[in-house]
Amino acid sequence: MRSRTLRAWSWVHTWSSLVSTLFLLMLCITGLPLVFSHEIDHWLLDEAWAPASPEGERLNLDQVLDVALSRHPGEVPSFMSFDTDRPVVNVTSRAPDAPAGVYTFQPIDQTSGDAAPPVAGHPVMEFILQLHTDMFLGLPGMLFLGLMGLMLVAAVVSGVVLYAPFMRRLPFGTVRTGRSARTRWLDWHNLAGIVTVAWVLVVGGTGVVNTLAVPIIAHWKDTALADLAAAYDAPVALDERASLDAAVERAKTALPGRQLQFVAFPGSDYSTDNHYAVFFHGDTPLTTHLTTPALIDARTGELAAVAPMPWYVKVLSLSQPLHFGDYGGLGLKIVWAILDVITIVILSSGLYLWVARRRRAT
């Protein structure tokens, strides 16, 4: 490689790393507990609980919704989701004038209407998740972290290019322990970097896709749901809405054999102003991560459309497990955490090498 080309790649590697290192360190450190968020939530929120009437009749979804809204008068429903291992329905609602991202979350015992203890979303984990996702800055924060993710990809690609000339005469695995600390750390940096390159590119690339979740979903609404959205002039009012329970049953007949995942209410991010969007997922390991919504007209309760997700929403859906590493059991999570720690070492050693080189130059 010509020395001018080498210098150009070195410049890309140095500056793409330097610009992003502090943010990537924050992402690695906050990402570590998020790999184990299910286990940590279970530990922090562990509370003995049983439904009031395990064998009794269950409230229908309209009754559950009424109970939830009666506890927070004036709020409008946004989402409803369903626990898989207990008869609990989760209602997410918000005040019409609430700031973006501020919601009320209520797990409700479907056998009694009583409040049930949450099994996820401990405040500590929510804090870490939001720091990791947008640094409490909303969409600008997400997009900024996406840019840092692109810097990471540039640093990894340029690092691979630079690996060739530096390792040309050294066998794989060499760490020159007899040389200066700086050389030793350079070898560790190169070795750890090249071993983790595929994993870092997958986690970094999917992280960038995840930061685009808001524009991706907005684009889906503006295109795939455009015809449905144009059917009415004004949003459906709360007292105009048809039965939610019947809407979900109608959606189930449109997508038989699928698993009900959640309902997005009219006006929420995942639906139009006039439809219940009832989301289902498949039952294979892969299709568990892929959803398909049935759109039910909230005024009439009739099926308006089944809207299979376009490729870019599927990419977003698959990017979430591939980024957080929470899809393959505890063994995969432990290896994920080790790779995360190695990435912290790579970032820190890169910073050390830059500082050491500057000191030597001066």
Partner 1 sequence: MSGAEPDLWRTFRVPLLLATLSLVGLVGALLDDGLWDTAGAALLALTLVIAGLAWHRRRNTPSSGRGTVSDGSG
* Closest distance of CB 315 from partner 1, Å: 13
Strand partners, 275: 297
Residue 290 or 307 with smaller CB distance to partner 1 = 290
Token reading at 308: 């299979």
Beta-carbon contacts of 103 under 8 Å, excluding residues fewer than 6 positions away, are: 78, 92, 93, 94
Strand-pair partners of 80: 91, 263
Minimum distance from CB of 282 to partner 1 (Å)? Answer: 12
Could you count the other beta carbons within 10 Å of the beta carbon of residue 35? Answer: 20
CB 194 within 8 A of CB 160: yes
22 binds partner 1 (CB under 8 A): no
Neighbours of 196 (CB within 10 A): 19
Under rule CB under 8 A, residue 19 binds partner 1 = no
- Per CB under 8 A, the list member of 43, 46, 176, 341 interacting with partner 1 is 176
Which of 246, 252, 321, 348 is the binder for partner 1 (CB under 8 A)?
321
Distance CA 67, CA 61 (A): 10
Q: Rounded to an integer, what distance in angstroms lies between the CA atom of residue 59 and that of residue 351?
A: 58
CB 265 within 8 A of CB 247: no
12, 191, 208, 209: residue in contact with partner 1 (rule CB under 8 A): 191
Q: Is 15 in the site for partner 1 (CB under 8 A)?
A: no
Q: How far is the CB of 323 from partner 1 (least distance, A)?
A: 11
338 binds partner 1 (CB under 8 A): yes
Q: Which of 55, 85, 168, 257 touches partner 1 (CB under 8 A)?
A: 168
Backbone angles phi, psi at 263, to 5 degrees: -115, 130
Among 83-91, 167-175, 254-262, 308-316, the segment contacting partner 1 (CB under 8 A):
167-175
Instruction: Give yes or no for residue 169 binding partner 1 (CB under 8 A).
Output: yes
257: left (phi over 0), alpha (psi -120 to 50) or beta: left
Provide the sign of the torsion angle of the four alpha carbons 196, 201, 202, 208, taken in this order. positive
Stretch in the footprint of partner 1 (CB under 8 A) among 232-240, 272-280, 309-317, 336-344: 336-344
Q: Does 345 sit near partner 1 (CB under 8 A)?
A: no
Task: Write out the binding residues for partner 1, residues 192-221 only, by CB under 8 A.
Answer: 194-199, 202
Interface segment toward partner 1; rule CB under 8 A; list 39-47, 254-262, 268-276, 320-328: 320-328
- Residues in 270-289 that interact with partner 1 by CB under 8 A: 285-286, 289
Q: Which amino acid is at 190?
A: N
**Hey, CA dihedral for 20, 314, 306, 246, is it positive or negative?**
negative
Distance (Å, whole) CA 149 – CA 52? 47
Confirm or reject binding of residue 328 to partner 1 (CB under 8 A): yes
Residues in contact with partner 1 by the rule CB under 8 A: 10, 14, 160, 162-180, 182-183, 186-187, 191, 194-199, 202, 285-286, 289, 318, 321-322, 327-329, 331-332, 334-336, 338-339, 342, 350, 353-354, 356-357
